[in-house]
Amino acid sequence: MGSGVALYLRFRNQSTPHIGLMELLLLALLLGPMLEESLFRGCLLPLMAQTTGSGIAVILTAILFALFHQPADVAHWVSFTATGVA
């Protein structure tokens, strides 16, 4: 989503502030994964567990996790889904 915003601003001839290396590393290595886990494990999993049961909710959120990462082939689908279940 951040890339989309940056491209939109570039097409409108607006600039974005420079992000330093340390800030970029902090965002990419720490905050990104934390927000992703908060979304899938903290929000979607409990919501789906209430309506479908725990086991099905884990599988469904794992499939959504894989879809979120846009796998290129079946091997990647399996890998991302297995990671999501784990």
Give tens-digit pLDDT for 18-71: 777 888 788 888 888 888 888 888 889 999 999 999 999 999 999 998 888 888
4-40: burial string, b at 16+ Cβ within 10 Å, e else: eeeeeeeeeeeeeeeeeeeeeeeeeeeeeeeeeeeeb
Which residues, other chains included, contact 85 with Cβ-Cβ below 8 Å and sequence gap of 6+?
A: 58, 59, 62
**What pLDDT, on a 0 to 100 scale, did the predictor assign at position 1?**
62
Report the predicted TM-score, pTM, of the whole model to 2 decimal places.
0.64
**Mean pLDDT on 3-30:** 78
Residue 7 confidence class, pLDDT cut points 50, 70, 90: confident
* Of 10 and 35, the one with more pLDDT: 35
Is the CB of residue 41 less than 8 Å from the CB of residue 50? no
